[in-house]
């Protein structure tokens, strides 16, 4: 036992260890504060919080869980990207292969799907909680606006992902959405004042969204790039602002 303790002592005193960790074992108040300062992930937190903010019945952990689902989606999503090509001739078979050829392919796809459902729901519930606790009130107004942007990005992420399996469910769910885009006032060919402003099926907002007049190869590629690159980057940017604002303004929770 003494040998082990001695060994541990030797390890934590090495230059290598000290370059990694700039705090001792967090069993004293000093080290517990230091660990929050010196760890980049934990640094999202303050060192101290109000006791009331810890109450499960106050926050329900919903904001943190939403962020966790996002990370889970990024991890499972990267795995799925290894096996998926956004080509209408093979996308469907790539998804089929996940269930038959790829080790744990089905599990990762199922996890990705359930985490996506969970994220949409947890964003909604998180916003509901924030509303009912009045946590958007000054000085946190702007962070609520950032939160609404994150809600929209979350829904767009889910929706763009819906097309990728390229099955009937995917194609027609996205077709429903594109019909609505066509009906946009002013910028859709079937919407109020759209035709009057010169919009046709070949230049309106639905054409931009789909990359054509119907859901096809261009749409799949567009949705793939939006889903795997553009939207996650936008989400990450606004999440950074969201978390930074929480750190600046503190939790609104009671004592």
Window 217-246: residues binding other proteins (CB under 8 A): none
Query: From the CB of 1, what's the least distance to other proteins, in Å?
Result: 25
| Pairwise CA distance, residues 254 & 33, whole Å | 22
* Number of residues located near other proteins, criterion CB under 8 A: 94
Q: Which stretch binds other proteins (CB under 8 A): 3-11, 188-196, 227-235, 238-246?
A: 188-196
**Of the candidate residues 51, 85, 200, 203, the single one contacting other proteins (CB under 8 A):** 51
Work out the burial of residue 26: count CB atoms within 10 Å of its CB; fewer than 13 is exposed, 13-18 middle, 19 or more buried. middle
Residues 14-43: x/- map of binding to other proteins (CB under 8 A)?
------------x--x--xx-xx-----x-
How far is the C-alpha of 208 from the C-alpha of 226, rounded, in Å?
A: 13
Q: How far is the CB of 235 from other proteins (least distance, A)?
A: 16
* Binders of other proteins in range 78-107 (CB under 8 A): 88, 92, 95-96, 99, 106-107
DSSP state of 14: S
Q: Which is nearer to other proteins, 111 or 239 (CB)?
A: 111
Minimal distance, residue 239 CB to other proteins, in Å: 16
Complex with other proteins: residue 11 or 42, whichever CB lies closer = 42
Cβ contact 89:217 at 8 Å: no
Phi, psi of 134 (to 5 degrees): 60, 30
CB of 105 to other proteins, least distance (A): 11
Q: Is 255 exposed, middle or buried (0-12, 13-18, 19+ CB in 10 A)?
A: exposed
CA distance 213 to 202: 6
- What minimum distance in Å lies between the beta carbon of 7 and other proteins? 25
Q: Which of residues 8, 25, 46, 229 is near other proteins by CB under 8 A?
A: 46
Q: Which of 70, 109, 226, 242 is close enough to bind other proteins by CB under 8 A? A: 109
Is-contact 218 212, C-beta < 8 A? yes
Contact yes or no for 111/78 (Cβ under 8 A): no
Q: Hey, which residues between 124 and 183 contact other proteins (CB under 8 A)?
A: 127-128, 131-138, 140-141, 144-145, 148, 151-152, 155, 158-159, 162, 165-173, 175-177, 179-183
Determine which helix (DSSP H) or strand (DSSP E) holds 115, and give its type and residue range: helix 105-132
CB 165 to other proteins: min, Å: 6
Nearest distance, CB of residue 41 and other proteins, angstroms: 10
Cβ(24)–Cβ(31) under 8 Å?
A: yes
Residues in the chain: 255
The residues near 184 (Cβ < 8 Å, ≥ 6 apart) are 191, 194, 204, 205, 206
Q: State yes or no: residue 203 binds other proteins (CB under 8 A).
A: no
């Amino acid at each position: 036992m003494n040998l082990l303790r001695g060994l541990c002592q030797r390890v934590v005193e090495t230059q290598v260890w000290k370059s990694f960790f700039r705090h001792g074992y967090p069993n004293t108040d000093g080290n517990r504060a230091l660990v929050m300062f010196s760890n980049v992930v934990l640094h999202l937190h303050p060192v101290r919080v109000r006791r009331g903010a810890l109450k499960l019945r106050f926050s329900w952990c919903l904001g943190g869980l939403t962020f966790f689902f996002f990370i889970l989606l990024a991890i499972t999503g990267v795995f799925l990207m290894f096996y998926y090509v956004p080509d209408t001739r093979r996308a469907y078979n790539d998804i089929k292969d996940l269930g038959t050829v790829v080790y744990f392919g089905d599990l990762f796809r199922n996890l990705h799907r359930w985490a996506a459902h969970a994220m949409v729901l947890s964003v909604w519930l998180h916003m509901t909680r924030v509303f009912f606790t009045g946590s958007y009130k000054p000085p946190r107004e702007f962070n609520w606006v950032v939160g609404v942007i994150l809600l929209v990005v979350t829904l767009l992420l889910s929706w763009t992902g819906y097309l990728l399996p390229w099955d009937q469910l995917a194609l027609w769910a996205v077709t429903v959405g594109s019909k609505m885009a066509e009906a946009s006032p002013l910028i859709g060919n079937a919407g109020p004042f759209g035709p009057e402003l010169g919009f046709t099926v070949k230049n309106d907002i639905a054409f931009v969204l789909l990359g054509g007049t119907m859901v096809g190869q261009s749409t799949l590629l567009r949705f793939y790039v939006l889903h795997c690159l553009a939207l996650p980057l936008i989400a990450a940017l606004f999440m950074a602002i969201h978390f930074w604002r929480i750190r600046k303004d503190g939790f609104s929770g009671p004592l």
